Amino acid sequence: MKKIAVVGTGYVGLVTGVGLSHIGHEVTCLDIDPVKIDLLQKGCSPIYEESLEPMIQENQKQKRLSFTSKYEDIQDAEIVLIAVGTPQQPDGSANLTYIFQAADRIAKTINQEVTVVVKSTVPVGTCQRLRNYIQDRTPFSVQMVSNPEFLREGNALKDLFEGDRIVIGSDNPEAIQKVMEMYAPFDIPMMTTDLASAEMIKYASNAFLATKISFINEISSICEKVGANVEAVAKGMGMDRRIGSSFLQAGIGYGGSCFPKDTKALVQMAGNVKHQFDLLESVIHVNNKQQNKLVDQMKERFGSLVGKRITILGLAFKPGTDDLREAASLVIIDRLLREGALITAYDPVAMPIAKEHFPAVTFPANVKEALTGAELAAIVTEWEEFKELPLDLYEELMEEAILFDGRNCYSLEEVMEQNMEYYSVGRPAVGHTKSATLTHEA
């Protein structure tokens, strides 16, 4: 059992802190936001993540987990994890202000030797700089470890308890040993390396996954033109174990708090050492193109979208979260509003946040209300609620059943049984009749 402090209670910090308390450590989570801490002290989670809130309450009851906004409360921690945000700056590079602020406070607070573990995604070289920064400000010995996180939103606890690997980077064998002991109860394979390589593993992993997505999205665009079906192509590719089937789902691009930010940061980092990362630049370019795909398809079908009543189904960047960061929905709605369309948007959980973004959009109470009277609809996030929707509802509720499915939620076979016009990603259009083409040409 170790005495651990976690600085920053965002997704990563909170999930990690709660998980570490659950396996028996004594954990104090710190955040400078007193509102968040107040909520957490009452056992409420400020973020939506399955099973997190009951786990917070259980470990609070066991007195293994506490929350504070005062650095004095973490002065005797033997391990301090830093999990504060590293937001993207206009040039794509990571903003390290919060990390160095936290480092400064940690240095001024600790009253013994400490192992500082950086979980935040930071450019290669940052951990070394941080170690020197903290060491210059404290008489106690500081060991630095890079320990990148690989948690998916909506799946974070499962990823923490059953992850594929734990990466521990340090030039100090004792610090590596300490962090290995901390994680031992999870029983996940651990990989140890130096600081810089650990930092790079995080960027390289996310860039590779983003590349897989952009790759299949490019293939999907070609499939549309040559009459192939990207779902079958991805399945056939994925059966090759060297390729693997995950992250080959074609759609309208990746979003969220990690892939867009980390890919741009890696391009920037490469640029700093005079390496032009052509491949990753293309990955980003393809993703931007992909986020615009549905609107391009709509314009091709209708010409003008002025005054069209369009329903958007799904706003979150992926199902299982209320997170709108870098979501395709933002790009799509912005563009449709500029095109003069009238937008109704529905999402099972992200509407409260979306309302602040889009005052000009109508937010109905449920999916049926959202579809009623619409001239066309678009699926932007593949929520189960949409996948399970009886397909005849589109014809029943909409003025005309025209659907642009950005996440391939339905099989072409089931769509073909309906009286609907259906456009998806990397698959042939269904019900796109001659008259529809004529309407467009007219």
* The pairing of beta strand 309-313 with beta strand 190-193: unpaired
Task: Determine the residue with CB nearest ligand UDX.
Answer: 258
- Residue of 275, 252, 176, 270 lying closest to 423 (CA atoms): 252
Q: Does 251 bind ligand UDX (CB under 6 A)?
A: yes
CA distances to 240, 329, 343 from 312, rounded to whole Å, are 36, 8, 7
- Give the one residue of 117, 157, 200, 258 binding ligand UDX; rule: CB under 6 A: 258
Give whichever of 179 and 248 is closer to ligand UDX, judged by the CB atom.
248
Q: Pick from 85, 255, 314, 426 the residue near ligand UDX by CB under 6 A.
A: 255
Of 67, 71, 133, 150, which one interacts with ligand UDX (CB under 6 A)?
150
- 161 is a contact residue toward ligand UDX (CB under 6 A): no
Q: Of the candidates 345, 332, 251, 341, which has an alpha carbon nearest to the alpha carbon of residue 292?
A: 332
Q: Is position 258 annotated as part of the catalytic site?
A: yes
Which token pair is 217?
Answer: 């999205």
Pairing status of strand 309-313 against strand 342-346: parallel
Asked if residue 324 lies in contact with residue 48, where contact means CB atoms within 8 angstroms, the answer is no
Q: Which residue, chain included where needed, has tokens 């706003």?
A: 315
Q: What is the DSSP string of 238-275?
A: HTSTTT-STT---SS---SSSHHHHHHHHHHHHHHTT-
- Nearer of residues 47 and 436 to ligand UDX, judged by Cβ: 47
Angle between helix 97-109 and helix 126-135 axes, rounded to 10 deg: 30
Q: Which is nearer to ligand UDX, 254 or 358 (CB)?
A: 254
Interaction mask 362-391, ligand UDX, x per CB under 6 A:
------------------------------
Alpha-carbon gap, residue 70 to 57, rounded angstroms: 21
Residues 301-320 that bind ligand UDX (CB under 6 A): 317-318
DSSP string, 197-226: HHHHHHHHHHHHHHHHHHHHHHHHHHHHHH
CB of 250 to ligand UDX, least distance (A): 7
Q: Which of 2, 129, 137, 152 binds ligand UDX (CB under 6 A)?
A: 152
Q: Return the residue of 66, 249, 344, 418 that touches ligand UDX, per CB under 6 A.
A: 249
> Among the candidate windows 128-136, 165-173, 249-257, 383-391, which touches ligand UDX by CB under 6 A?
249-257
- Is residue 13 part of the contact set for ligand UDX (CB under 6 A)? no
Of the pair 178, 318, the CB lying nearest ligand UDX is at: 318
Q: Which of 29, 127, 223, 258 is catalytic?
A: 258
Residues identified as active-site: 258
Contact residues for ligand UDX (CB under 6 A)? 149-153, 206, 213, 247-249, 251, 254-259, 317-318
